[in-house]
């Protein structure tokens, strides 16, 4: 516990950076093309607010999520912005050969130098049938993910004279690799490799503190990352008042309930008093899923983000904001940015 306190002391003296994770939600009554346009406008707005990065999440065969071709979307967003870092949050490595990933992100790095991130996850990001369709007959083992990460590191590093397999493009681009996770496995691997770590507390917050403690305690400094660097996912719904924020958050509540019950749909418009209509066990399950969420007016958001920073010492908050109205989603980001600026 002393290590955790020391690390918090190092980081809480500074305000956390803000970033955004986008699943590119397709809204009820909307189209995929509109969802892609909304994602670009949101990224441009995040850039104007000074956000550090904008990541896209890989999911497949899921109603209402249009981010399956993650590398293509990274290029689309990077091409429509100027400064913000753009990357994957993440590429689900079990679905891809490391060489293909290295070539795709190496190409992006050549197109947008110094702006591309490669976040990696070890979950399939889909159901077993779709996973088989993605990788055919390949069977994953517990050793595959660390080996694939190591191979990607080699492929993105400068090629050595005796290296037979070279990513072209890719070799020498040194695209920053981030490990993502919601358990202790990736936390330990990120620590051992000296890599930055992003915890998926936006949907699986239960092991957040344990994973961060493990990562910081075991961290081995690397040339690129001499100290541990932590990003945490934060579901965010902000509005001028707490009551309006809770109303807008009902879109998120509906999405989460659909995930928990296997009834995935497009992002639905908000509903008045939605939570009051639910069974107690449904409300509890949604609450567990969104335990790291910050939902409310400006004062509530400022207090909530400050509490998360104090509790975790996170270097960066990766916001996930499922607001049905795209304009009100941008307003939510405005409120969050102001709240962080006002944090002591």
CATH code assigned at 106: 3.20.20.30
What pTM does this model have?
Answer: 0.91
Assigned domain for 90 exists: yes
Is residue 302 assigned to a domain? Answer: no
CA 281 to chain centre: 27
Domain assignment present for 329:
no
Mention every residue, 6+ apart, whose C-beta is less than 8 A from residue 72. none
Per-residue pLDDT of the chain (344 residues; tens, 9 = 90+): 223 333 333 344 489 999 999 999 999 999 999 999 999 999 999 999 999 999 999 988 888 999 999 999 999 999 999 999 999 998 988 889 999 999 999 999 999 999 999 999 987 645 566 666 666 556 666 578 999 999 999 999 999 999 999 999 999 999 999 999 998 999 999 999 999 999 999 999 999 999 999 999 999 999 999 999 999 999 999 999 999 999 999 999 999 999 999 888 999 999 999 999 999 999 999 999 999 999 999 999 999 999 999 999 999 999 999 999 999 999 999 999 999 999 86
Q: What range defines the domain where residue 125 resides?
A: 2-234+314-319
DSSP 8-state class, residue 26: P
Task: Please report whether residue 31 resides in a domain.
Answer: yes
Supply the pLDDT for residue 7.
38
Distance CA 292, CA 208 (A): 9
Separation of alpha carbons 289 and 257, rounded Å: 9
In the prediction, which pLDDT does 138 show?
A: 61
Residue 279 belongs to a domain: no
Question: Cα–Cα distance between 15 and 341 in angstroms, integer?
Answer: 8
- How many angstroms separate the most distant Cα atoms in the chain? 65
Domain count within the chain: 1
Report CA 320 to chain centroid distance, whole Å. Answer: 8
DSSP H stretches of helix in 164-237: 184-193, 208-218
Residue 122 covered by a domain = yes
Q: Give a yes or no: residue 241 inside a domain.
A: no
With respect to residue 157, please indicate whether it lies within any of the assigned structural domains. Answer: yes
pLDDT in tens, 55-104: 999 988 888 999 999 999 999 999 999 999 999 998 988 889 999 999 99
């Amino acid at each position: 516990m002393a290590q955790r306190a020391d690390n918090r002391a190092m980081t809480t003296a500074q305000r956390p950076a803000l970033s955004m994770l986008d699943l590119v939600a397709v809204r009820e009554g909307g189209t995929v093309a509109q969802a892609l346009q909304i994602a670009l406008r949101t990224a441009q707005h995040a850039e104007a607010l000074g956000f550090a990065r904008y990541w896209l999440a890989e999911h497949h065969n899921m109603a209402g999520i249009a981010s399956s071709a993650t590398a293509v979307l990274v290029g689309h967003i990077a091409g429509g912005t100027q400064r913000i870092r753009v990357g994957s949050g993440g590429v689900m490595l079990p679905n891809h050969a490391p060489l293909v990933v290295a070539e795709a992100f190496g190409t992006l790095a050549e197109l947008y130098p110094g702006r591309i991130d490669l976040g990696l996850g070890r979950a399939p990001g889909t159901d077993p049938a779709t996973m088989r369709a993605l990788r055919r007959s390949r069977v994953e083992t517990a050793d595959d993910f660390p080996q694939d990460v190591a191979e990607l590191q080699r492929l993105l590093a400068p090629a050595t004279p005796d290296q037979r397999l070279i990513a072209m493009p890719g070799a020498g681009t040194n695209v920053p690799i981030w490990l993502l996770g919601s358990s202790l496995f990736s936390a330990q691997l990120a620590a051992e490799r000296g890599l930055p770590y992003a915890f998926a507390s936006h949907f699986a917050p239960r092991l957040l503190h344990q994973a961060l403690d493990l990562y910081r305690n075991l961290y081995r400094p690397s040339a690129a990352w001499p100290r541990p660097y932590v990003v945490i996912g934060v579901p965010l719904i902000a509005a001028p008042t707490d009551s309006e924020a809770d109303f807008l958050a009902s879109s998120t509540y509906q999405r989460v309930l659909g995930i928990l019950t296997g009834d995935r749909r497009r992002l639905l418009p908000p509903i008045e008093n939605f939570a009051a209509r639910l069974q107690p066990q449904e409300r509890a399950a949604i609450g567990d899923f969104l335990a790291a969420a910050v939902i409310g007016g400006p004062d509530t958001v400022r207090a909530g983000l400050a509490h998360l920073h104090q509790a975790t010492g996170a270097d960066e908050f990766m916001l996930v904001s499922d607001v049905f109205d795209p304009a009100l989603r941008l307003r939510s980001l405005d409120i969050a940015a102001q709240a962080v600026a006002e944090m002591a």
